[in-house]
A and B are shown apart, each in its own frame.
Chain A
Amino acid sequence: MAESARVGTGARPSGGFVLGPLRTLKNEFTDKERRLAYILVTPALVIILAIALFPLLYAIWLSFQEIIINQSSSFVGLQNYAEMLQDPEFHSALRNTTVFTVLSVSLELVVGMAVALALSRVFKGRGIARATALAPWAFPPAIAAVMWRLMFQDQVGGGIVAYLIKSSGIYTHPILGNDAALIGAAVLVDVWKTTPFMALLLLAGLQVIPQDVYEASKVDGASSWQQFWKVTLPLVKPAMLVALLFRTLDAWRVYDLLWVMGNRQLNSLSVYVYNGVKISQLNFSLGNAAAVFVFLSSIAIAFVFIKVLGTRAVE
């Protein structure tokens, strides 16, 4: 978590606290302003400790126990994880989540970049374009899924998207009846809902690139294409990495969109956890082990982004 924390802020621990430990420590709590600062951040810290860190540790402890709700629990070591890894339901959850994450995030990046480049130009109606772009972002994912489910209905008047897809000949079977088609549909909904937001993050990154960099590259005879790859992309990379990391972790924990689009039948890692915890209490321990798996894999994803794609993600 410490790694991902640094991505968010770029803040560094103050050197003074590390260097003169004793003197500084005393100073930290006798100085009036400093003491007040600690008092002011305490409620926020208490919330994080009580609702995030304690439950997380509890979840890890629970994942080594065989739990029967309201009854006994006993230590079983890694047995829950072993069972989880052999569960075909978990396999489909992992597969669906991976496919959904890779497809939706990469499409959102490419389309989002195109939209951001377009919106970075000065043109009539730019304000309107930017405003409408933000609307789907504020929709509850569960409601967006309901809306699109209606449009994906086969053979009824409301199912406009299904009708368009069918008459174009791209896919002629009922979309809501097939897992692979459903995931494709869910990716489409996610792209619709999140691309504008991605574009706005990238746009903010584009707008801090000074105009004279472009002028200079033009003088050097660079084509628009070269300009994009050699100038724009490297300079927008930090903003892009933050947006990518954020979106990837978001997609990795997808729940509502797949749950509603698939009418409770489409599996994802989060749906698997939910089913274990809420629906089938016999699978409580497996669901909880999967919850810890989601947490650890999220850290791994954040780590890969930060280490492999560049440490200067935010600075």
Chain B
Amino acid sequence: MGGKFETRWGKIVFYVLIILFVLMTISPLLWMAKMALVSQAELDAYPPTILPRSLDLTSFKTIFGDDRFRAGLINSVVIAGATTVICLSVGSIAAYALARLKFGLRGPVLSLILAVAFFPAVAIIAPLFLQFSNWGLVNTYQSMIIPDVLFALPLTVYLLVAYFRELPLDIEEAAKVDGAGPMQTFFRVTLPLSIPGVVTTGLLCFIFAATEFLFANTFAFDSTTQPVTVIIPQFATQYRTDYGAQAAASMVVTIPLTLLVLAFQRRIVSGLTAGAVK
């Protein structure tokens, strides 16, 4: 593989397939944009018009005029933001120990943390529901942040260990020679040098928590705490046939995520695939 194309036809077929793949990937997004931006009359027309014939921003006005939707956006950012901060704090120090310090239980500890990635979230919703009810935590941000931190932790530690290990050892050793202890080395040298890695990890943490649905749907009861992932599916009942509003709402969530991923694409790919090939 990786070589030149044997024939001209091979090259043409290859490009057709690649273009088809890219189109398949992005066409649902383009279609939602079209649905969100055309008039109600065009949305009702059957068979569907392939290219838009009207421009109408009513759908966006509808959803941004909806208190529940606006609250949902804020709730999502708060939950995902808090999850990211906690995960990075806990994860970065653990990752530093696992990447750079020598201790007997290093292997088992790393295995245990990574094993959480395979743990089915649904297995613990019943006991968590009972516990959260007893502690009065049901329908609070904490009831979602707590389990989100657990499930974002393996990814955080896995990525940060990989980033810390990539740093050249001699810089850290130079700090040691200058009399810095391990903690000073971590905060003054390792962490500042791995800012790109930490940012990518934080971004993935944020995406993970912002896309979470099971805990949010179980522990959040109303729009004071429900994130947008829970609010938007309810639009199918609330706005019934206002398909434009539903499309506009999904646009508002997916476009920022798409832009983030495109901006950090290279780093995300190299981070996520680092372990798969080792």
| Smallest CB gap from A257: residue in B | B213
Q: Does A180 contact B (CB under 8 A)?
A: no
List B residues at the A interface (Cβ < 8 Å). Answer: 1-3, 14-15, 17-18, 21-22, 24-26, 28-29, 31-32, 35, 42-49, 90-91, 93-94, 96-98, 101-131, 133, 146-147, 149-150, 153-154, 157-158, 182-183, 207, 210-214, 217-218, 229-230, 232-233, 235-236, 241, 243-244, 246-247, 249-250, 253-254, 257-258, 260-262, 265, 268-269, 272-278
Do A158 and B247 touch across chains, with their CB atoms under 8 A apart? yes
Do A253 and B28 touch across chains, with their CB atoms under 8 A apart? no
| Chain A 136-159 per-residue mask, 1 if CB under 8 angstroms from chain B, else 0 | 111111110111111101011111
Q: Does A75 contact B (CB under 8 A)?
A: no
Cβ distance B16 to chain A, nearest Cβ, rounded Å? 11
**A52 touches which one: B48, B119, B269, B274 (CB < 8 A)?**
B119
13 cross-chain CB contacts under 8 A:
A9-B107, A45-B109, A45-B112, A125-B18, A134-B262, A139-B254, A145-B233, A146-B233, A156-B46, A159-B48, A246-B117, A253-B121, A295-B120
| Chain A 11-26 per-residue mask, 1 if CB under 8 angstroms from chain B, else 0 | 1111011000000100
**B278 touches which one: A10, A156, A160 (CB < 8 A)?**
A10
| Smallest CB gap from A197: residue in B | B272
Do B126 and A288 touch across chains, with their CB atoms under 8 A apart? yes
| Chain A 277-299 per-residue mask, 1 if CB under 8 angstroms from chain B, else 0 | 11000001001100110110010
B residues near A155, Cβ cutoff 8 Å: 46
A residues near B236, Cβ cutoff 8 Å: 146, 149, 263
* Complex alpha-carbon distance, A158 and B29, angstroms: 13
Do B124 and A59 touch across chains, with their CB atoms under 8 A apart? yes
Do B110 and A11 touch across chains, with their CB atoms under 8 A apart? yes
A residues near B28, Cβ cutoff 8 Å: 136, 147-148, 151, 192
Do B107 and A13 touch across chains, with their CB atoms under 8 A apart? yes
Q: Which of A117, A148, A150 has the most CB of B within 10 A?
A: A150
Do B126 and A160 touch across chains, with their CB atoms under 8 A apart? no
Do B277 and A115 touch across chains, with their CB atoms under 8 A apart? no
Do B213 and A140 touch across chains, with their CB atoms under 8 A apart? yes
Do B273 and A146 touch across chains, with their CB atoms under 8 A apart? no
**A139 touches which one: B22, B125, B211, B278 (CB < 8 A)?**
B211
B residues near A167, Cβ cutoff 8 Å: 47
**A133 touches which one: B25, B98, B117, B272 (CB < 8 A)?**
B25
Do B125 and A274 touch across chains, with their CB atoms under 8 A apart? yes
List A residues at the B interface (Cβ < 8 Å). Answer: 1-2, 4-14, 16-17, 24, 28, 33-34, 36-38, 40-41, 43-45, 47-48, 51-52, 54-56, 58-59, 62, 69-70, 115, 117-118, 120-123, 125, 128-143, 145-151, 153, 155-160, 163, 167, 192, 196, 200-201, 203-208, 211, 214, 232, 238-239, 242-243, 245-246, 249, 252-253, 255-256, 259-260, 263, 269-270, 273-274, 276-278, 284, 287-288, 291-292, 294-295, 298, 302, 314
Q: Is the interface of A mostly helix, strand, loop or mixed?
A: helix
* Complex alpha-carbon distance, A153 and B44, angstroms: 11
Do B273 and A200 touch across chains, with their CB atoms under 8 A apart? yes
Cβ distance B184 to chain A, nearest Cβ, rounded Å? 12
Do B261 and A291 touch across chains, with their CB atoms under 8 A apart? no
Do B276 and A40 touch across chains, with their CB atoms under 8 A apart? no
Do A156 and B44 touch across chains, with their CB atoms under 8 A apart? yes
Known: A51-B146, A143-B253, A274-B218. A123 touches B125 (CB 8 A): no
Cβ distance B158 to chain A, nearest Cβ, rounded Å? 8
Cβ distance B190 to chain A, nearest Cβ, rounded Å? 12
A residues near B24, Cβ cutoff 8 Å: 192
* Complex alpha-carbon distance, A25 and B249, angstroms: 57
Do B276 and A41 touch across chains, with their CB atoms under 8 A apart? no
* Complex alpha-carbon distance, A294 and B120, angstroms: 7
Do A158 and B35 touch across chains, with their CB atoms under 8 A apart? yes
